[in-house]
Structure 1
């Protein structure tokens, strides 16, 4: 972990483009960069508990949506016991100098990273209009889109950078802004 130079925490609503931005940065930065997802240890443990297909849970398809609400409730119960558990677990095998955490969803996630890694942590909020999210396939789901996993950071104001990602051109501009802001 001493080799980590920067940790970029990306937050945004479902279908905001978090994964697109993380994957595009990874392609640009190659081996210097590693994407970490807090959701991976959540989905891995959930798949093991219920004997589910992990690859399908990790995808962006209907299989994951079938289990999302129950998985959120279970992960919230685990966070109540140890708010840093999934963050810590996700960071176990990091090997790159730039780490992108592509799915920051809670104030406690940010708190964990700032307290653990200090000044190398930078926060990025991706905002997008709901109509664009709908065009990208988002459908509001009660118990998913109105709970902490989607809403806890709505009132958070201490972002290092806030970006609008309302179209493909915005995605390219977001990448440029992130690279300039964080010198990567």
Structure 2
């Protein structure tokens, strides 16, 4: 059982990956591991459709060619088993991180309430910290965001918009906000 699970959620190009890297640097790679819930989805999708899994993981246009179909694929899998990608992501963690109570897990991409409910139900609310990463539309645009119908208006992108029980909301519009979030995260984690 991990010491702490930090669950990040946010829209595309809000800065979830940026914050994940910053947290990994802060805690140190030997003390934390990143769970990417989209990785098992992309792996299954790639295997099912004969695609390049590694290219689905990167930020290239390759992934965008399949994004809408991957969303449908993921919805179908979650309809059968809502926590399937959570359990698969945990299965991919090295054993030392699964069993060591001093380790921290960073879930880099929660997309729906099932993801959050799974970790709280299985690890306890006291171990789970929920962080929403938010950036203005204009900032997201500068990061390469382009609204895509069927993606950005889908539950996988919008279901947590009205979720209200975040432990922390990180406005990721500029570097001064980043310093503030790191202070707030330290206070949240060590309180």
What TM-score do you get using the length of structure 1 for normalisation?
0.95
Correspondence for 2:112: 106
How much has 1:65 moved relative to structure 2? 0.7
Unaligned runs of 5+ in 2: 98-102
Give the 5 Å matches for 1:155-166.
Answer: 155-166=162-173
SS of equivalent residue, structure 2 residue 5: strand
How much has 1:54 moved relative to structure 2? 1.1
Does structure 1 residue 47 correspond to structure 2 residue 46? yes
How much has 1:181 moved relative to structure 2? 1.4
Structure 2: how far apart are the matches of 1:7 and 1:121? 5
How much has 1:183 moved relative to structure 2? 2.1
Correspondence for 1:6: 4
How much has 1:152 moved relative to structure 2? 0.1
Give the 5 Å matches for 1:41-80.
Answer: 41-80=40-79
Query: Which string of whole-angstrom CA distances, capped at 9 and with x for unpartnered residues, describes residues 110-137 of structure 1?
Result: 1111111112111000111111000110
SS of equivalent residue, structure 1 residue 103: coil
Segment drifting more, 9-18 vs 118-127: 118-127
CA-based RMSD: 1.3
Structure 1: how far apart are the matches of 2:13 and 2:182? 17
Structure 1: how far apart are the matches of 2:179 and 2:141? 20
Number of equivalent positions: 182
Structure 2: how far apart are the matches of 1:66 and 1:174? 34
Correspondence for 1:18: 16
Give the 5 Å matches for 1:66-145.
Answer: 66-94=65-93, 95-96=96-97, 97-118=103-124, 119-145=126-152
Structure 1: how far apart are the matches of 2:89 and 2:184? 26
Structure 2: how far apart are the matches of 1:60 and 1:176? 29
Correspondence for 2:100: none
Correspondence for 2:155: 148
How much has 1:146 moved relative to structure 2? 0.1
Structure 2: how far apart are the matches of 1:66 and 1:25? 30
What TM-score do you get using the length of structure 2 for normalisation?
0.91
